[in-house]
Homo-oligomer: A and B are copies of this chain.
């Protein structure tokens, strides 16, 4: 609010709108990637697998916290994933009141396939960007990401672009 540059608010507004628009596109890519690859699974189930994939085996409460859901919900979602063969419960020898949940090979494979698909979708878009426009993109996006990562110091439950909401 006290910058030497003349056009400040306007610049911020322009960037904000551009980001908002790009945001919609990216969210769509995430959505289609899960739908395309992870056929029979539901989204909440997939989110749980992603959490396990990025953070390794977790105890149930931590998992619920990461996903922002009630432990009871996590319990039952894990039940279904175990039945489907994508996750497994392991009893913790150090603390018998804790249950550790991990991915099975099939679960890890599913997560990898979706991530690969999403990466390829984004790459396909990037390849259509004119070369002269590409230069600033990496730097600009990194600056944006850095600016956005700082204030919300909490851990990211938003990995894989999948949140409880969108």
Contacts and interface: CB of A to CB of B under 8 A. Distances in A.
A39 interface: no
Contacts of A77: none
Interface string A17-31: 011111111111111
State how many copies of this chain the complex holds.
Answer: 2
Contacts of A151: 124, 128
Nearest to A160: B24
A16 to B, nearest CB: 5
A69 interface: no
Contact of A23 (B26, B142, B143): B26
A130 interface: yes
A12 B140 contact: no
A43 interface: yes
Nearest to A137: B140
Interface string A140-166: 111111011111100011111111111
Contact of A35 (B30, B141, B165): B165
Contacts of A28: 152, 156-158, 163
A162 B165 contact: yes
Contacts of A161: 20, 23-24, 27, 166
Contacts of A145: 18, 21-22, 25
Contacts of A125: 19, 144, 147-148
A22 B144 contact: yes
Interface of A: 3, 5, 11-16, 18-31, 34-35, 43, 47, 118-119, 122-131, 133-145, 147-152, 156-166
